Amino acid sequence: MGKTNIRGLFVVGLTAVLLTGCASNEPDDGPGIDPRTQAPSGAAEPAEKAKPTPEPVKPTVDRGKIVVPLDELGGSETLSGIFHFDFDQAIVKRAGHAELNKHAQVLSANGRFRVRLEGHADERGTREYNLALGERRANAIRAYLVAQGVSRSQVEVISYGEEKPVNSGHSESSWAQNRRVEVVYR
């Protein structure tokens, strides 16, 4: 049961990658009018008939985070905006792909959204090198999003190096939390 679910998610994710990957070929990176990424809201049409409000619910930004409406239940989901990295590495971990795909969908469907990718490093090593490392990490996330069809003009990259840790501890677990990229919606 669990296995099929994971596989199912993977297939959905992969399709999303393929779909948005196609979308990136389009020269237009304006507002979210891509019919393919709007397909899910079309599927929810019968439910809408029953409701008095006909307007489709759009994602909203709340304190830098993106809140995505869940079609059928009327609830919403706040996407995780934090992605972690290994020491002295700037490779996007597979564990973050699913969440990044959701960000990519929101961004490519809503051209008015802008994000700032804030790259961070842990305190080990030198400050200037860590600034460069933080930027590498943010660039890696950007490259991933752009490959999923997000326009480069929607994405800004900034590195804070080791200057803004989320955990001020000096242990391996604190460092792991601090090696991150934060996706901040503006």
Partner 1 sequence: MKQVLRCILIMSAVLSFSAKPELRIEVTKGVDNAVRVAVVPFEWHGRGKIHQEIVEIVNSDLRLSGRFYALPVEQMLSLPHRVNEIFFRDWRLLNIDYLVIGGLESTGQGLRLHFELINVFKQSVEASLTIVGGEHELRDMSHYVSDVVFEKLTGIEGSFSTQIMYITATGSDDKRLFKLNIADADGHRVDTVFESKEPLLSATWSPDGEKIAYVSFERDSRPAIYIHELATGRKQQITDFPGLNSAPAFSPDGEQLAMVLSKDGNPEIYILDLQTRRLRRITHHYGIDTEPSWTAGGKAIIFTSNRGGKPQIYQMRLEDFRIERLTFEGDYNAKASLLPDGSGLVMVHRRNGIFHISYLDLKYGRLTVLTETSLDESPSVAPNGSMLIYATQLQNKGILGAVSIDGGVKFNLPSSEGDVREPAWSPKKRRTYEPIAGDPAP
Per CB under 8 A, the list member of 125, 146, 176, 177 interacting with partner 1 is 125
The verdict on 170 binding partner 1 (CB under 8 A) reads: yes
Q: For 90, phi and psi rounded to 5 degrees?
A: -130, 40
Per CB under 8 A, the list member of 7, 36, 93, 164 interacting with partner 1 is 164
The verdict on 112 binding partner 1 (CB under 8 A) reads: no
Distances, alpha carbon 126 to alpha carbons 77, 101, 111, 160, in Å: 38, 33, 37, 13
> By C-alpha distance, which of 21, 23, 183 is closest to 114?
183
> By C-alpha distance, which of 34, 59, 31 is closest to 153?
31
* Residue number, 58 or 116, with CB nearest to partner 1: 116
Q: Smallest gap, in angstroms, from Cβ of residue 135 to partner 1?
A: 6
Enumerate residues 86-105 that contact partner 1 by CB under 8 A: 88
The verdict on 186 binding partner 1 (CB under 8 A) reads: no
For 13-46, b/e burial (b = at least 16 CB within 10 A) is eeebbebbeebeeeeebeebebeebeeeeeeeee
The verdict on 64 binding partner 1 (CB under 8 A) reads: no
The verdict on 70 binding partner 1 (CB under 8 A) reads: no
Which residues lie near partner 1 (CB under 8 A)?
Answer: 88, 123-129, 131-133, 135-136, 157-161, 163-164, 168-170
